[in-house]
Structure 1
Amino acid sequence: MSKIFNRIIDFFHSIESKIAFYPTLLALSGFLFSLLMIYLEQQGISRNIMDVFPILMVEDGDTALTVLSACLTGLISLMVFSFSMVMLLLSQASSNYSPRLLPGLISDKRHQFILGIFLATIFYNIFTIFSIEPSEEKYTLPGLSVLLGTFFTILCLVAFIYFIHNISQSIQINNILDGIFDHAHKRLNRLIESEQNKQLSFPTTDNWYEYKAGRSGYFQNISINNIIEICEKVNTRIYITIPKGLFVLRNAVFIKSEKELDERILNAIVDNISFSRGELVEDNYILAFKQITEIAVKAMSPGINDPGTAINAIDYLTDLFAVRMQKLDNGIIKSTNSRSGEKEIYFKIAVVGFEELMYNVMASLRTYCKNDPVIVQKLLWMLNYLQKQPAAEAYYHGIIKDEIRTLLEQAKNSFESQKDIEAIKGLAG
């Protein structure tokens, strides 16, 4: 039962990021609400309101049809324009910053809800029009339904004003960087809080049994409790060889087990791991480093030539690296054995280590920014700042020191001005 529940949760997370998810739900709610109003009108709800507030009700069917038809036509035009604005936003973000930003922008719930409000109102007005006869008298007209349709249309106009404001803010690079940083910061903090014991160790897995995933995709989520329950049941420990967030190849070794597993147990383990065809920062903080690095690299390309954006991106990378330094590199999961009551280590997930993460970021930045002395000075400032920050592992500071040395050597070979060389030497100490 828990496996089915986890699959439902994983399926919900996978479709929640689609741009049509919330609009579809709200459009369905608009249709159902229109059916509810048709039923209430048959019970005479408008007739009762007419006796109390006659000024709120339309007088004839032609007027009601004209009002709803005008609202419907305007809303369709408004929705087409809004979708065009979303496509323009996605196109501009992809060309100016990075295609990796698209999943995060598409999953913006504010845009989805606004488009959903438009669709819900359109569906409601369409089916309300079906219930109106032009020759109906005022006491048999669905007056309340017409009034609600007009109110929903006004609500859509207010939502459209907010939509224009929000989409103009969404395309600004500072807001994009801030959104990426916030998601990654929250994810990192959750991981750091889950690391309870710094002295955990895990046996070597060189001689363990190896198994393939049997499917491909980005390693998105894993049901830790279910995996621990399976390990406890068969009395084994397992090692997930691919870090979360990376792409898993169908025929690559994905699972190592201390004891041999039959096909049923292996399938049960794989069933508790979800794979996807896309990446989200909420599930993988490493993606935030990739996205921010790509924004900086794209900003320094000859076609864009925007060093100010690169400097902003390096500022956010500095803050993220400072948080990442508080996280361990082990990836060991510990749980309490339900039989003995003792805490035992059942499995380990491979992680992208601090050294690998730092190298991947700095390698790209060094390659594309080495000729700009201002950016090189900013990178040196970042590394010097990180060297002074507390770290979960002592060797993190040594990694940073090596990166300073590599950056300094590469920059000295790229600069032609002795003044620029002296400036970076001063920052490097």
Structure 2
Amino acid sequence: MSEFTFGFSAPDPDDRDKNKDPNSGEPGKGGGAENPFDAFGQLGQMLSQLGQMLSQAGTSTGPVNYDLAKQIAVQKLSGQMGFVAPSDSGKAVADAVHLAEMWLDPVTTLPAGATVTRAWTPRDWVEHTLPTWQRLCDPVARRMSGAWVEALPAEAKQQAGPLLAMVGQMGGMAFGSQLGNALAQLAAEVLTSTDIGLPLGPAATAALVPANIEEFTKGLERPASEVIVFLAAREAAHQRLFAHVPWLRQRLLATVEEFASGIKVDTAALEQLASQVDPSNPETIERAMQSGMLEPETTPEQKAALTRLETLLALVEGWVDIVVGEAVSERLPGADALRETLRRRRASGGPAEQTFATLVGLELRPRRLRAAASLWRLLTDQHGIETRDGLWAHPDLMPTAADLDDPLDFAERLGANPDLDDDPIAQLKRTEQSPESKDAEGENGD
């Protein structure tokens, strides 16, 4: 295997002299022509030298080289234990999910959402979640790739020509490399397909990762059968939400895309990037791309999208926490300890949070999980299961970030409206059809 990673190969030393002007004895200054990349120091030389290396790395469509990402992830996972699932793991997962579904039925109005159960290896997890990662990562990578081009002076853009396409290819490989390494790390530790709260896997599929669950169980002092049933209940509860709350999956993924669309890059960082790159050494390119030098600036619009995403993820995780607790607490002796373990696992900023921040630029804040769980518990105690679950009928009915800070006020407002307490979605429809609402729509249309 070549010592140059990600398809790079060593440049031909003879090629370094091809751009040297025989009269000046200096590279890149033939006939006194002005170099359009002078404003960026070594950036022009870097792009020129990268041309040959990238041409040997193959082409990729889109802003991320997902073939490279998958290849890197699979290669890293192939050397780890648990790469192949035990032969009986499929039945164990199916039995655990079936039992969990029966326990969940009495504690939520949302019916079972999973029609398929799967025991995944870490490699399976990579393969089956990659399409969703593509949707999450493409907007970020596309925006970052575009920032490179936007940062170039107008004259450089006109004269660069084919180099701009090469810049996109370089970005696709760099992001693909980063994605592959991150997915390998995450795949080696995730327990279910919904472990980070997002619907990463195929719809209506409850999937557990037995090899990772076995490793996770070692430090818990609980029977393996108890742990897998508890995790199956969490997976099944997530699937009920994603299957029967039509707007939820789209809203979660669209909010990530909205965040990505507002990415802005400090163009001054490009000069600093170029100064740290040796065009003849591909490893310096990789280090520079991963140094955080081109981390996006956070805009007010992004902050608003981030708040919405954090709130929605907290509401999902809080609801799952409460519902699963009601379903298993009296049946599994270690349920309370397992709930607390998973809460701390999320709140500690573990691999899931770090990987998501690396790939998409978002730092999730699991601390909102406890606030959301407290709100759902309060609503359950004061208004019952039907009213609590009825709030998922429409996004406008859902608690906001402010409501997580003051759950008592939200519960009181809910109780002060008898119609909403009985049928939230019917009340919403009546509000939309009211004369005042129609008048407002007419004014907006004028």
Same fold by TM (over 0.5)?
A: no
Greater fraction of residues in strand = 1
Please report the TM-score for the alignment, with normalisation by the length of structure 2.
Answer: 0.24
Please report the TM-score for the alignment, with normalisation by the length of structure 1.
Answer: 0.25
**Which of these two proteins has the greater Rg computed from alpha carbons?**
1
